[in-house]
A and B are shown apart, each in its own frame.
Chain A
Amino acid sequence: MLALLQVLLSGLVTGSLYGLLALGIVLIYRTTGVLNFAYGALAATVTSFLYVLLTGPRLPFWPALLLSLLFALLLGALVERGFARPLLAAPILTKAIATLALALVLQTVVQALWPQLTSPVHFPTPFEGHALHFGGLYLSLVDGLTLLTMVLLLIVLQLFLLRTRLGMAMRATADSLEAARLMGIPVGLIFLLVWMLASLLAAVAGILIAARQTVIDVQFMDPVLLLAFIGAVLGGLDRLEGAVLGGALVGLAENVLALLLAGHSLGALDLGNPGIREALIFAGFVLLLLLRPRGLFGGAALRRV
């Protein structure tokens, strides 16, 4: 029972990280229509930048973190102006494929700038080795920070989108670009801000994942991104809270299935095999989409007639 609780807790943390990434994916998709497959590379780039600050000039963690988050904002702005803006009118699939190219460009640049990250390196943080104990349950400090960060970010983001003029302008742009333009909303500025915000979210997620794994390389976000995308689709690509819940579900399912299936077999089929586990997750994902094509929490499709 304790093992199950521990795994549920870990699954919740993992799911929160998927959810955090899914949040940024949905934010960009809803506002600019870009399915951003470079999102993991954005996160990895900023995390690599932080690693270099920590291990090169050996900056203290918190100033380095602050600089890295500022770098994330700058990177988001650069990507929007240099990449997303020229592709604004392109078909959605063209934009999606272009983000794949962007991911490769970012990875290549990181490798060229910081070749030490082509192989796994230790990611040092002040949280390492610290844990909270609840009875027999362990919650590492970084896991606790992840949960706290997730909750705070959700609250702040909701308040920002619902209560501020800028947030409302973002939502209006997401609902209808033309209507937003007619209303005098500077949609160019909104796009820029959305990319900066999403880049910031990616950076936070990347840094938390790196702190949790304690090991990074230039591609460390790739396997995580795929699961975050599943979370985003599962939650419905048009709901921020859906993205978070979708991500959390994926993380929980991944962990609980791994624990429950370990050591079990079905005839000659080893259910503890990670390939079987992943197949089950994907099969469940497809089944859910068959039943609810717009995701678990997605809104109803509107069709104008």
Chain B
Amino acid sequence: MRLQRPPAPVEQRRRGGSGVGLLLPSVLLFLLLLSACGSASSSGGGGGSSASAPGVDADTITIGGVLDTTGPIKVICAPILQGDQLYFNQVNAAGGINGRKIKFIQVSDNGDSTRTRDAVRQLVEQNHVFAIFQVCGSGNANVAESYTVPRGIPFIDPIGGGSKYTDQSGKALPWVWMTQPNYGDEGHVIGYYAATTLKARSVGLLYEDDVLGLQQKTTLAEALQKYGSKLVASVGYNATQTDFSAALQTLKAAAPDLIVLNGLPSPTARFVATAAAQGYRPRLGYLANYPMADNSWAKVLGAAGEGIYVSGYTSMDTPVAQQYLQATRSDPVFSAYKFYGYINAKIMVDALRKAGSNPTRASLRDALDHDFVNYDTGFGPTLTWTPERHGGVSDFMFFQIKQGQLTPVSSFIKASAVWP
């Protein structure tokens, strides 16, 4: 099957921020100028060893998620929710899980991580959910974890490549399971692909200047060096940056064969537009990381996007993907985010099935830790969780924008194969 609509991996870090987020500092600034010139205490969560599981009764399993459907990241989270509901409805229509229907309660934190804790608390203490399935946004997910982990509440699929699933010593957080890959692994695979397949001898990097971009900067440089290439220049930007002229000149001065674009669709598209306006394109063009693996980014770029390589981790060439396409054939456009929700809802349902006919939080944890070895995710890569490993998939493939469409140009490459 020719892949015309490769699904995007999901990037959920907050974009530039809401109007309030940027305008409020302006107001405060002006107020300054004009004048001069819960911690929550909960008992509702129940421990992992609880014998009678909250959220599970004779005919229902209630799970909860925090997905922004009202704020700045609703563009990502709302279609994910649609995909979740599509899959859960299919399962319920087929009889549910061991006779129990899935009840998925979604609340919106407006994309604001300062509201995430209250949203999760509501789900746990008022709605008595069995487990948390999805919190949209890396920062939001990390806030949620600070509530769920100490209370022994299973949290599956924190959405965002920057979500934590290990503690500071690198040990797996006991109640958090990721499905998405992390940017560190992606940096290794991008470095390998750029050096060996694209034959780039020198590479520049434009990266979002936060912990995620810095992580990829390190791993990209490592892999490039290992495979005979070199990171010759790197420039950080922040998510709200609008002017990329200086960044372009800095990278251009290093004369890289290829520029790797790390971060979010909007700023990276602005960088490409700036370069095109100044008549510049590296010899081998650009290679963008997985948040850009969606045809909508190709469309945003216009003609300047033609030929750009993009990393990704999902394939439509699977039975589950075909099932999804069949179920959504009346949708006017393909939504990669909706597909993301669908395939992750499948993982959640499989976990609940594996947790036994009378699931408890402990049995769910046991299933997640022991019954997901080389698990077929349905979107290409396999997933392995163990008590020591709670990270997501780590296989990547590459696309190239051809006639405004992302077209696959590689098969999957395992991060562990290029950086053991």
Contacts and interface: CB of A to CB of B under 8 A. Distances in A.
Given A120-B300, A124-B302, A41 B37 contact: no
A274 B238 contact: yes
A40 to B, nearest CB: 8
Interface in B211-243: 233, 235-238, 240-243
Interface string A91-129: 011001100100110010000000000111110100011
Interface in B227-275: 233, 235-238, 240-243, 245-247, 249-250, 252-253, 265-266, 269-270, 273
B44 interface: no
Nearest to B270: A213
B40 interface: no
Nearest to B297: A120
A254 B243 contact: yes
Contact of A225 (B22, B72, B233, B245): B22
A217 B303 CA distance: 19
Contacts of A254: 243
A12 to B, nearest CB: 10
Nearest to B273: A214
A204 interface: no
B20 A104 contact: yes
Contact of B235 (A92, A119, A262): A262
B302 A122 contact: yes
Contact of B276 (A93, A129, A143): A129
B245 A255 contact: yes
Given A100-B24, A128-B302, A289-B37, A274 B241 contact: yes
A66 B26 CA distance: 32
B16 A219 contact: yes
Interface string B14-53: 0111111111111101110110110000000000000000
B19 A7 contact: no
Contact of A118 (B16, B75, B278): B75
A258 B33 contact: no
B415 to A, nearest CB: 27
Contacts of B20: 100, 104
Contacts of A96: 27, 30-31
Interface string B75-100: 10000000000000000000000000
A15 B324 CA distance: 49
Contacts of B60: none
Contact of B277 (A140, A233, A259): A140
Contacts of A129: 276-277, 303-304
B382 to A, nearest CB: 31
B279 interface: yes
Size bracket of the A interface: 35 or more
A138 to B, nearest CB: 4
A143 B243 CA distance: 12
B5 interface: no
Nearest to B239: A223
Contacts of B233: 263
Nearest to B18: A219
B259 to A, nearest CB: 14
Contacts of A97: 27
B303 A213 contact: no
Contacts of B245: 6-7, 10-11, 14, 255, 258
A209 B247 CA distance: 18
Secondary structure call for the A interface: helix
Interface string A218-239: 0100111110010001000000
A300 interface: no
Interface in A237-284: 251, 254-259, 262-263, 272-275, 278
A103 B24 CA distance: 11
A274 B270 CA distance: 16
A84 interface: no
Contacts of B321: none
B74 interface: yes
Which residue of A138, A142, A258, A278 has the most chain B CB atoms within 10 A of its CB atom? A258
Nearest to A118: B75
B333 to A, nearest CB: 10
Contacts of A14: 242-243, 245
Contacts of B269: 120, 214-215
Contacts, number: 160
Contacts of A225: 22-23, 26
A213 B246 contact: no
A101 to B, nearest CB: 10
Contact of A122 (B235, B246, B277, B300): B300
Contacts of A93: 31, 34
A229 B29 contact: yes
A171 interface: no
A195 interface: no
A72 B94 CA distance: 54
B277 A103 contact: no
B414 interface: no
A168 B331 CA distance: 58
A150 B253 CA distance: 30
A41 B58 CA distance: 52
Contacts of B303: 128-129
Interface string A140-183: 10110000000000000000000000000000000000000000
B243 A131 contact: no
B151 interface: no
A35 B31 CA distance: 10
Interface in A284-303: 289, 293-294
Q: Please provide the 6 A-B residue pairs with the shortest distance between their CB atoms, ordered closest to farther.
A: A258-B246, A10-B245, A140-B277, A223-B240, A293-B37, A259-B246
25 contacts: A6-B278, A10-B246, A14-B245, A37-B23, A96-B27, A100-B24, A119-B75, A119-B296, A120-B266, A120-B296, A122-B301, A131-B279, A138-B277, A140-B277, A142-B277, A213-B270, A214-B304, A217-B266, A223-B241, A255-B246, A259-B246, A263-B233, A273-B209, A275-B209, A275-B238
Interface of A: 3, 6-7, 10-11, 14, 35, 37, 40-41, 92-93, 96-97, 100, 103-104, 107, 118-122, 124, 128-129, 131, 133, 138, 140, 142-143, 209, 212-215, 217, 219, 222-226, 229, 233, 251, 254-259, 262-263, 272-275, 278, 289, 293-294
Given A223-B16, A223-B242, A294-B37, 11 more contacts: A3-B250, A14-B245, A104-B19, A119-B296, A124-B302, A131-B278, A214-B270, A214-B304, A222-B23, A224-B242, A289-B37
